[in-house]
Every structure is written in structure tokens, then in C-alpha cells.
Structure 1
Amino acid sequence: MLLIGPIGFLTPWILSALAALPVLWLILRAMPPSPRLVRFPGTRLLLGLKDPHPVARHTPWWLLLLRVLAIAALILGFAGPVWKPAPDEGGQGPLLIVMDAGWAAAPDWPQRQARALRALDRAASAGQPAALLVADGRAEGALPFMPATQLAAQLRALRPVAWETRYPADPDAALSDAPAGLSVLWLSDGLDHPGRAEWLAALGGTVTVVPPEGPRLSLELVPGDQPALRMRSTTATAEPEVLAIGLDPQGTPRELARLQPGDGAEDAGVTSRLIPITLPSELRNRITRFEIQGHSSAGAVVLADDSLRRRKVALVGDDRASEGQRLLSPLHYLRRALMPTTDLIEGGLADVLQATPDVIVLADQLGLADDPALREWVEAGGLLIRFAGPRMAASDRLGEEPLLPVRLRAGGRDIGGALSWGEPRTIAPFAADGPFAGLAVPEDATVRAQLLAEPAPDLADRTIARLSDSTPLVTRAPLGQGQLVLFHTTANAEWSNLAISGLFVEMMDRLVRTARVSAATPEAEHAEQPFWLPELVLDGFGRVAELTDPAPVAAVDFARGPAPGAPAGLYRGGERVAALNAGGPMALADWPGVRMERAAQAPGLDLRGWLIGLAALLLALDALGSAWLARGRQRALA
């Protein structure tokens, strides 16, 4: 950049065209307007007369001045003049641009690109090589240094990523080809990231850090019985609202609700606010994402998955036990297990069907053949969970009972009673590809009685939980778009102590989360589950990105959070849908021994557009002046 007083020129070599202005002035001065030939027979009568308005031999001086000024304005405009440009405090040696490219860099990404392009222009005018380090975790090997003009296109095509900023693990290897006298421009997102201090120490020399413009905000889901959102910010001022985006009854995404942040607590410069999600279940189940209003980054977005939806569960059973016999009620333990995480409704089967629940739980109920509405509800996508009991065991037509995942034997099996020879059976470890995968089985959880299933070729495929003797404890089968699930023991402590264990709560929670899931094919049900498949991914700005050639993500990598190859988004593993959200804890970066460029510093007033506009105005005045002169000559001739 060439500085002439308060004006700087980005491309000063164009100013050399100003030397041609005197030559242009002489050419225009020596070339009068071309004469017009008019043939008139009476011209002989005018011989000897003197014309009071002779045709000028030269172009008028004021018209020449307009034309020269217009050309000078064009030359100055193309030279890229800037009024009082921001001083470039970086060194004059080879340039290295370090760009934080995580989600925290997204809100002011255009300003970052513009600042980096100005640095490349400076390096190009000085003839210095340059390199670009994009801190998105995908840079490998030594950084290549090349002419600065070759990096401009790559810089313009860069976009932030939907995970945290990540630096190469080995700074020395990445800088192995760096020339001496390196000048570093670090466009920081204002946050501390692993490896940042090591890179700062390895760079040394002249390092200019450009901090972000405005605060950084992130949004995180806080799981629990009452889910909430946690908003973090690098400023203590009032925070914007959180928008709940979901589908309206017509299936169109729109704003469904606004959540107000509460009081904040500051820790090491980061303010944290808790936002309870106090919305009706019907509204909350339609929400697909939460986002901070006016803040475009993947860290300011929380995608809703199975853990956020609060199912509506209907309990149907005999609950006529007295106050002193409440522990004998088949619905008591179901209430205790489901109440913290679901919305419960109770009543007769016909009444609860009108409330359109997601799950219906039947405790020791028979005679469902005469209720076609229940079958239609399951086929439409409902989840029906049934529990065995004395009434089912005593039925002589149990083999004909509809809406069961397997055929049952009448009479039941007493394996731990006073009249039996056997001992109560424990629960076998759960399969790694089933809905209860990963749940720990207590050693004291035993079953004393159960309903046995009739042998069938598909019995093993429909069994999702077994006892230690390999007999079914829980079976499941698809019906239309819904599911049928049967616990082969009771919902209370009459046949087993499963209902009074913590495992019962976890099993019911897992089953309820699979509600409203389309029936899976046998291949999908038995597919290995160490991988998660992406269904929807975000870009660094928090927008839905195009899903091209999706690759499965290993469960180990999935548990570590968003990363290269696993951006923020929704992923499916078997019947479960889980969200990888980019927002989380934040820590401010510390920059000892560097030059800090003021983020609010004005880059200078670009005069390019003004000068080109002035040139256009002068050319328009030139055209008007030429037309006025031609009209004056016509009047004189008339």
C-alpha cells in the first residue's frame, strides 16, 4: 500500500497513468470539432460578409477540463484509494495468516475474510510469499508458502466449520518450510482452544492478533427430568432471546415459542444463564431446534433429539387398591418410573385413545379383540407396552389374545414359588444391538414367575431381554408403523422384584424413547450399533448443510462431540436419534507478548466508488456541454 498523506492506494502502480494526462490535454486541444458541410446555392450572395459567430478552431477550455478530470478520477478510482487507512502493524516479511475457523468465528466471518485479503494485498505489493493456516482440524503436513495472489481465491472460498477451532498437533512440523523473518496475522475467535498456547510459543517473532467483533455466545442442552438450556456469553450484558423453531400443523418450519434467559453467573469472563424449557408437551414435541436470536453460528443452535421430546404416556389397568395396598397396584411402579420424564394420563382405553398418546401401557389386561381402534392406533405408529399378570395367566384363551408380539402358553411358569423346585431366575446381560444395550443388570434383580412364549422360528429375533435360562423376559414385534412390546412378568413386585429396581426405570425410559419410530426391518434391527449415521448436519453458520456421501461415525468418536468427519447434526443409531450440538463451555484466550489490533478500528474510507461516480458525473456533464455547443451553432446558422 502506498501512503500519500491521509490517502492510501491499494494498487499504486495504476497511478502511473496520470503521466498521460498532459498528452491527452494536447491531443484534445489540437483536435477541434469536425466541421459540417452545408450545400446552399445562395452562398454566393454572402461573399465578402464577416461571420459574427465563427466556428471555434479549438475545443473550449472548460470542456477539456471536464474530460481530463473525468479520466483522472477513473485512474485514481482504479488505484484503490482509501482515506486514512488503518495502519498495518504487522511486519514486512513473509506472511502467515492463521484463521480460527470453528463455529465461534462464524458471526463476523466476512470481516475476517476482508482483513485477511487486505493482508494478502500488502504481501503481494511487497513481493513476499504467504501461507494460510485454517484452524479447522483438517490441515496436515508442512504449510506451503506461495505468492500471495494465489491464496486470495482459496481465502474467499473458506467457510467456518460446525465444530470447535482445532490447530495442527505439531507446530514445528507445520512450520518446517517457513522462511525467516515471518510476519504472523492471527484472526482469533476470542476463545481458548487446545494447542493455541503451543502454537503461539512456536511462532514467536511478529504476531498481530485480530480479536473478534462482538461477543461469542453458545447454547447447550442440560439433560434431566426437566430439560433446560444453558446460554454462555463472553459479555455480561442482557442476552437475546432463544427461539424455539419447529413444525406447525401444516408441516412448515416456523417460530413456535421464545424463551427468556434468566439471571447470569460470571466465571472467568464468561457469563452463564439457565433457561428452563417450560413448554406444553404437544408444543415441545414439535420443536426441531433452539437458536439464539440474531446469532448465526453452529454453537448457538441446539438440535432436538429423542432426549428432548417428552412423550405422552397413557396407563390403563386395574387400580382399585386401597391406600394401604398401594404397593400392590400394578400401576404404582409404572407411575414412579414414568412420571419424571413423561406426561401421564390415566383412564379407560377408549378415553386415553381420544387423547392421542405416544405410548399406551396395559397392565394385565385381556379381551382386546373387540377394540379395533387400538389396533389402528398401533398401526399408525403407536407404541403398545403390555405387562403379564395373574389374569393373563389364568385365561384359557391366552394363545388367541391379539396385539401380542409372540404367542403365549396358558398357565404361566412358577420358577421361584413355594410349590416349585427351582430358584428365581436372574436377568441375563442385554444384547449390544438391542434397545437396552449398555444398561447394567443388578445381581439381585430376579424373576419368580413369567408367561412363557410358544416356540417359533422368529422367537429369538423378537426377544430383546432374557432371563438367565434364555427364556424371554421382554419381547417386541412391529405392527404396521408401530410396535408391540410385552413384559412376561408383572408391573408390580408380585412376580419379580424388577419393578422396584432402578433397572426398571431405565428400561421403561429406553422403550418410551423409541415411540413413534417407524417399524425397522430385520436387517436394521440386528445391525451392529458401534456406528452412528448422519441424518442432518449443520455448517458453521448453524444452517442445514447438504448431506453428500454421508459416512458412519464410530461410537467412540461420536461420544467426543463434533469434530472433522462428525459435524454438528442429528445422527441415527438403530432406533435412537441423537444430536451432536457444537455449543458448550467457553474460555477466553490470553495473548501475552503479541500486538493486539483493535477490533473496532475503522479500516478507512474506501474512495473507489466515490471517484468512479465522480468520473461518471463529469462525463455526463461533458455530453451535455457538447450538445449545448452543437445547438448553439445550429441557432447561429439559422
Structure 2
Amino acid sequence: MTALGPFLFGAPLALLALISLPIIWWVLRATPPAPKDVELPSLRLLEGVEPKEETPARTPWWVWLIRTLAAAAAIAGLSQPVYAPGARNEAPDAGGALLVVVDNGWPSAPRWSELIDSATATLDTGGRDAATHLLLTAPQTLNADPATRLSRTDMAKRLSSLRPQAWSTDRTEALARLKASGLKPARIFWASDGIEDEGGRAFAAALSAMAPLSVYAAPPNGPAAITSIASQTDSVSVTLRRVQPHGEERSFVSALTLDGSALATAEAVFIDGERETAASFSIPAAALSRVARFTATGRQGAGTVWLWDSANRSRRVGLVDTGSVAQPLLSDMHYVRKALEPFASITEGDIEALVSTSPDAIILTDIGQIQPDDATRLAEWVEEGGALIRFAGPHLAAQGDDLLPVALRRSSRALGGALAWDEPQAMARFPDTSPFDGLAIPPDVRIRQQVLAKPAPDLARKTWARLADGSPLVTADTRGSGTLILFHITAGPDWSDLPYSGTFEQMLRRSIAAGRGESVNDSEGAYSPQLVLDGYGRLASAGANAAPLKAADFGTVKPSETHPPGLYQGPSGTRALNTGAGARPALIEAWPPAARLLGD
């Protein structure tokens, strides 16, 4: 790149063709030889007729001027010009080491080429043999030592090969690497994304104190990140955040399938003075289950992509009709229905009708003996990948059947009351290998009655939830490609307070995720990375540095090289780690007084 004023030229040698403009001008002005006079006798008939049009003796000046300017524009276009104001606002310095600092975290992606062009242009402000050094602020294993000296040519090649990362910068870590290198630069150029982070001010102050500092800031325009998503059965609300709250701004969010096909697009409007807004989708449950990701239309970067994991997609759930009840609002079905409505498409009917629709899960409340034909249908459906979720009660405790994950004792256990020896039990922490791992334990929930599992060597492996005394509360086991899940209590409040809590809804949600062949047990309870996002928001296969995540870490861990944003496969299906989750990007408001600010 060669700089000329506010312009950078990728092929500056093409400008040499401008030398030919005088020749082109002379050729355009030249006139052809005068025509030879030949007398034609019949022309006397036209003598005295005034001609309506006359051909000028030479080309008008404004015509050859336009042609010359068109030739100059074509030559300038071949030189690959890039407009980068401020990139050459520094006085040339023939000596001294130049440190180039590049913010290569996810906020830099929308204006990445502009940042790299500005950094490349600053190489021309030093001497031909001046030393250059590079410091990247996004943590990465292969980050070079800032003390490594690069020639101008090598630095230009290194800059052109850089790509933004899908995680945030860590300027505190970058500053520590710079100090440890012992480098003493004569000048510093910082190609900044303009976004504040925890160590941003200290980093800027340290650079300014180390050497004369020039900063080219290019913060994202428009929406910088999708920060959260709220879903219902047939609707989704996508929250976007921008860094500059000035003026009204319109953006669009698209719901895409795994192959990139758009299912729906919704508009989001930023009001003047506001940093956040939402795009609302109204999508039928059948179509919503096909959504793989949401993305801000026309934006590039991992921050504006939200991966839609299997835990969030609307599930098709069948509830086996148990017939009319005297008090519907107190029935077990009522509590199950209310817990499922926010995230599942519910169908009610008999077992034969439900199995024929191939739902993700079928839920049975307290049912005693299942008819042989229905038992066969359920068994075959589970073998093919369905999740059969059952709740205990007096009927199940007395009879039982083969469609259970564990063998049961023929009576229930009562806790509390005048005739019971034990007090009602609280819930224990979920096992690490359980799909429920990471959910909050409601402290006020008490279990007053349960069905007991018979002791078995594999009972611990099959237990997803326990009471404080260690007895199973939820057990599960695989059957073919499907899963059998048993809640050892009723679905209503007769035996426990669990149906009153929000944890009950989350437990059902994760249980249903076991449907359609998703694994429910993992030896380490970990989720392995399958597809990860690059800095531009594109999905690719996970690299060797990507490590598994525990279920409990998804709500707390921040994306990094070790845990890149993407899709992770584990005990209860697919989980997504998103770059923009909970992000609150804001502009760097205070720069060091001595710093020279370029760009925006």
C-alpha cells in the first residue's frame, strides 16, 4: 500500500500511466487531413440551399476534456485506491522502531479492512530500513512476541494475513506481554476497534507513556451484537445492541436454517438515544424448529450471529389424555401443560394417535397398567429415538411396567405427616453427569412422597436428580436410540412443591431435549465443540485448540481460543456458546491527552 493524502493505493505503479495523458490529449485534439475536393456537376442543383447542420472544423474543447478526464479516472481505478482519512496524518520519521498495535477481537470485524489499511499505510511514514513490531490484543496461542523485529515488507504481509477473532480483546494481557518483551519503541500506531474493555484505559495510558501514540479508531457502525434471545412456542424476540446511541437507525435480523436459507426477516428500530432494541419474529412452531441461527442482515462479525441450539428450539410434545377430571386446574396435566407452553408445541390424545405423529417426546402422568398394544407402540417409538417422560403416582407405585428406566418397589415412600418417620426432603445438587447440571436448586421445595427404585449396581449412573438423603428423584436410561425418563413424584403438587418452581419447567425442557436420538448420558458430563464461529461469523469445524465445556459453564464462560463460540454436542443435545451473549459494548470515551486521534 502507498499513501497519498487520505488515499491508499494497492497498485501505485498503475499511476505511472498518468504520464501518457498529454499524449492522449494531443491525439484527441488532432484532426484528420482535409478532404480532397472533387467537383460533381449535379451539385449545382443544390446551389443556394442553406445547410441545417455544420460539422465543426475541430473537436470542441469540452469533448476532449471529458475524454481526458475519463482516461485519468480509468487509470486511477486500476491503481486500487482506498479512502482512509487520517492514515497519513503523521510526520515522516526516518528512524526508530515502530510498534503497530491491532485490536483483532470480534468488534473489529465490521471495519476490519479499514483497520488493516490504516496500519499498512503507517509503514510508509518510517524509513525504508526502520524496524517494525506487532502487538495483537486478542489472546491467542500463536501471538508473536512483540519484541520480534519485522521488516516493512514482512510487516505488510503479516498484516494482510491477519483475521479478526471471534472472542474479545484482552488489553490487560496484551500490555503484560508488551512489558515482558522489554521493547522500547520510538513510535506507536494503534489500529483500535474503539470499544472499551476492562483494561482499555490503562492500556491506552501505558502506550502513550511509552512513546508518541497515534490511534486510528474504527468502532462498529449500526448493531454491534445480538446480546440475547427470548423464545415462546411460535415467537422469538432478538435483542440487539449498538455502541453509538445517536439518531434513529433501522436494521434487519434474519432467521436462517443450517444451510443458510432465510425463513423469516424482522425489522429492528433503534430510537435516538437508545443503545438497545429488539426484533420480533412470529414463526409457526414447525418452522421455528428448523431455525439454526439468527443474524443481523448486512453485517459481518461473530457478534451479530446468534446460534440457535437444540435446547431453544420448539419441541413437539404429546400429552397422553387421561380423561376428564373433577378439578382440571388441580390435575397433573394442568401443571405439565403450563410448564410446556412457553417452549413446546403440545398435542393431546391417546397413545396410538400421538405415536403416529412422531413427536420429540411423549409425557405420561400417573398411569397404571398400559394396554399391551399401546405398550408395543411406545416401545417401538422409543427405540427409534423418542423420549418417554413419566410421572409417578399411586397407580404407578402399585403396578409398574417395563417402560421404566429402573425397577420400582411396589409401594411409595411418604415423608412427613403423623405416620411418617422421616421429614420432607429437599433436593440435592444435580450430579455433574446430569442434563440438569447447572440448574438452580430451589431452596424452598420439599418432597413429601416418592416412589423408590430398587437398589441396583447401575442406579447411580441412571440418576439425574436426587433428594438430600440420596434417594433418586429423577432417573433415566437409554432404550435403543431413545430415552426413558421417570420423575419419582407426581406432576402436580400432591407429592411435592416442585411443580410450583421455575426449576420444574427447566427440568422438563432439558428432559424433552433427549428426544429424537440426542444422547442423555456422557461419561464426563462434557460438551465437545463441533462447529465454531470465526471472526466474520462463519461456521467451520472446531480446531485442535478447542476444548470441551461442562453444562454449568455455558452461563458463565466467555468465548476464547480454548472455548470458541459455536455449537457443542453433549449429554442433552446441542448447546450454543454465543459471542454476543450478555455483551454491552461501549465506546472508549477518554483517550490519553497526548495521543493523536485519527479515523472516526
TM tier, smaller: 0.7 to 0.9
- Whether 2:83 is the aligned partner of 1:89: answer no
Which of 273, 289, 293 in structure 1 is aligned with 2:293? 289
Task: Supply the distance in 2 between the matched residues of 1:501 and 1:179 (Cα, whole angstroms).
Answer: 60
Q: How does 1:562-581 map to 2 (within 5 A)?
A: 562-581=559-578
Does 1:123 find its partner at 2:131? no
Q: What is the one-letter code of the residue matched to 1:311?
A: R
Aligned to 1:617: none
How far residue 190 of structure 1 moved from its aligned partner, in angstroms, is: 2.8
Q: Which runs of structure 2 are paired with 1:250-261 in the superposition (5 Å)?
A: 252-261=259-268
For 2:152 and 2:518, locate their aligned partners in 1 and report how far apart those are by CA, in whole Å.
Answer: 54
Q: Which amino acid aligns with 2:99?
A: L
Change (3 A) 1:418 1:320: farther
Q: What's the offset of the Cα at 1:214?
A: 6.5
Could you tell me which amino acid in structure 1 is paired with residue 597 of structure 2? Answer: M
Aligned to 1:457: 457
In 2, Cα distance between the equivalents of 1:492 and 1:8? 70
Distance 2:574 2:116 in 1: 36
Secondary structure in 1 matching 2:116:
helix
Q: Is the 8 A contact 1:517 1:575 kept in 2?
A: no
| Separation of aligned partners in 2, 1:509 and 1:419 | 36
Contact 1:571 1:579 in 2 (8 A): yes
The answer as to whether partners of 2:84 and 2:117 remain within 8 angstroms in 1 is: no
Q: 1:203 to 1:280 in 2, by over 3 A?
A: same
Shift of 1:287: 0.9
Q: Could you say which residue in structure 1 is the equivalent of 2:257? A: 246
Aligned counterpart, 1:228 = 237
On the 8 A contact 1:219/1:300 being kept in 2, the answer is yes
In structure 2, the partner of 1:208 is 214
Partner secondary structure for residue 191 of structure 1: coil
Partner in structure 1 of residue 533 of structure 2: 538
Q: Distance in 1 between matches of 2:423 and 2:82?
A: 92
Matched letter for residue 561 of structure 2: P
Q: Is the 8 A contact 2:240 2:276 kept in 1?
A: yes
Paired AA for residue 217 in structure 2: P
Deviates more, 1:229-238 or 1:484-493: 229-238
Paired with 1:327 and 1:8, the residues of 2 have a C-alpha distance of: 72
With over 3 angstroms needed to count, the CA separation of the structure-2 counterparts of 1:437 and 1:330, relative to structure 1, is same
The runs of 5 or more residues in structure 2 that have no matched partner are: 16-71
Quote the Cα distance in structure 1 between the aligned partners of 2:409 and 2:571. Answer: 31
Q: Taking structure 1 as reference, are residues 2 and 431 closer, same or farther at Cα in structure 2, changes over 3 Å only? A: closer
Contact 1:265 1:272 survives alignment (8 Å): no
Aligned residue type for 2:200: R
Amino acid at match of 1:548: G
Q: What is the deviation of 1:153?
A: 2.1
Give the 3 Å change call, closer, same or farther, for CA 123–14 of structure 1 in structure 2.
Answer: farther
Structure 1 residue 154, shift from structure 2 partner: 1.5
- Is 1:552 aligned with 2:555? no
User: Aligned partner of 2:98: which letter?
Assistant: L
Kindly indicate whether structure 1 or structure 2 has the higher relative contact order, using CA contacts under 8 Å at least 6 residues apart.
1
Tell whether the 8 Å contact from 1:538 to 1:567 is kept in structure 2 after alignment: yes
Which residue in 1 is equivalent to 2:25?
Answer: none
1:596 aligns with 2:600: no
3-state secondary structure, aligned to 1:545 = strand
Aligned amino acid, residue 108 of structure 1: R
Residue 266 and residue 413 in structure 1: after superposition, are their counterparts in 2 closer, same or farther (change >3 A)?
A: same
Task: Report the Cα offset of residue 414 of structure 1.
Answer: 4.5
Of 320, 335, 339, 2:341 maps to: 339
Corresponding residue for 1:348? 350
Secondary structure of 1:241's counterpart equals: strand
- Secondary structure of 1:315's partner? strand
1:586 aligns with 2:589: no
Partners of 1:574 and 1:465 lie apart in 2 by 14
1:362 equivalent in alignment to 2:359: no
The answer on whether the counterparts of 1:2 and 1:9 sit within 8 Å (CA) in structure 2 is yes
Deviations 1:383-429, CA, capped at 9 Å, x for gaps:
1111122223343xx3xx23211233334444556655555454444
Instruction: Specify the code of the residue in structure 1 equivalent to 2:157.
Output: A
Indicate the SS of the match to 1:260. strand
Task: Report if the CA contact (8 A) 1:188-1:211 is conserved.
Answer: yes
Deviation of the 1:537 alpha carbon: 0.7
Match of 1:187, SS state, is strand
The answer on whether the counterparts of 1:184 and 1:207 sit within 8 Å (CA) in structure 2 is yes
1:525 and 2:522 correspond? yes
Decide whether the 8 Å contact of 2:218 with 2:599 is kept in 1. no
RMSD of aligned alpha carbons: 3.8
Q: Partner residue of 2:34?
A: none
Structure 1 runs not aligned, ≥5 long: 16-72, 600-638
Label 1:363 to 1:143 Cα distance change in 2 as closer, same or farther (>3 A).
Answer: same
Kindly provide the amino acid, as one letter, of the partner of residue 132 in structure 1: L
Cα distance in 1 for residues equivalent to 2:217 and 2:346: 51
Partner of 2:66: none
CA distance in 1, matches of 2:167, 2:331: 50
- Cα distance between partner residues in 1 of 2:361 and 2:81: 67
Q: CA deviation at 1:508?
A: 2.2
State how 1:96-495 maps to structure 2 within 5 Å. 96-125=99-128, 127-138=129-140, 139=143, 142-169=146-173, 171=175, 174=178, 177-179=182-184, 182-204=186-208, 205-212=211-218, 215-224=221-230, 226=232, 227-233=236-242, 234=244, 236-247=247-258, 252-264=259-271, 266-267=273-274, 271-322=275-326, 325-365=327-367, 366-371=369-374, 372-395=376-399, 398=400, 401-414=401-414, 416=416, 423-442=423-442, 445-495=445-495
For 1:229, what is the secondary structure of its paired residue?
strand
Paired positions, count = 519
C-alpha change, 1:488 and 1:222, in structure 2 (3 Å) is same
**Preserved contact between residue 318 and residue 330 of structure 1 (Cα < 8 Å):** no
Counterpart residue identity of residue 228, structure 1: S
Q: Give the Cα separation in 1 of the matches to 2:5 and 2:523.
A: 75
Q: Which stretch of the first structure deviates more once superposed, 214-223 or 103-112?
A: 214-223
Query: How far has the Cα of 1:539 moved from its partner?
Result: 0.8
Secondary structure at the counterpart of residue 460 of structure 1 = helix
Distance verdict in 2 for CA 1:588–1:471, change over 3 Å: closer
> Relative to 1, partners in 2 of residues 1:466 and 1:154: Cα closer, same or farther, differing over 3 Å?
same
Letter in 1 for 2:120: L
Question: What is the letter of the counterpart of residue 153 of structure 1?
Answer: K
What is the CA–CA distance in structure 2 between the aligned matches of 1:7 and 1:259, rounded to whole Å? Answer: 38
Cα shift at 1:542: 0.6
Counterpart in the other structure of 2:46: none
C-alpha displacement at 1:13, in angstroms?
A: 12
Alpha-carbon spacing, 1:215–1:519, altered in 2? closer, same or farther (3 Å): closer
Provide the C-alpha distance between the structure 2 equivalents of 1:445 and 1:532, rounded to a whole number of angstroms: 29
AA in 1 matched with 2:542: L
Tell me how far apart the structure 1 counterparts of residues 515 and 7 of structure 2 sit (CA, whole Å): 68
Matched-pair contact (CA < 8 Å) for 2:100–2:133:
yes
Is contact 1:90–1:183 with CA below 8 Å preserved after alignment? Answer: no
Tell whether the 8 Å contact from 2:84 to 2:114 is kept in structure 1 after alignment. no
Q: Deviations over 1:551-610 (max 9, x none)?
A: 4256587623112322221224432533221223210123353333346xxxxxxxxxxx
2:566 maps to a residue whose letter is G
Contact 2:135 2:174 in 1 (8 A): no
Letter in 2 for 1:260: E
Q: Distance in 1 between matches of 2:215 and 2:3?
A: 23
The letter of the residue matching 1:239 is: R
CA-CA distance at 1:85 after TM superposition: 10
**Percent identity at matched positions?**
35
Secondary structure of the residue aligned to 1:106 is: helix
Give TM-score scaled by structure 1 length: 0.71
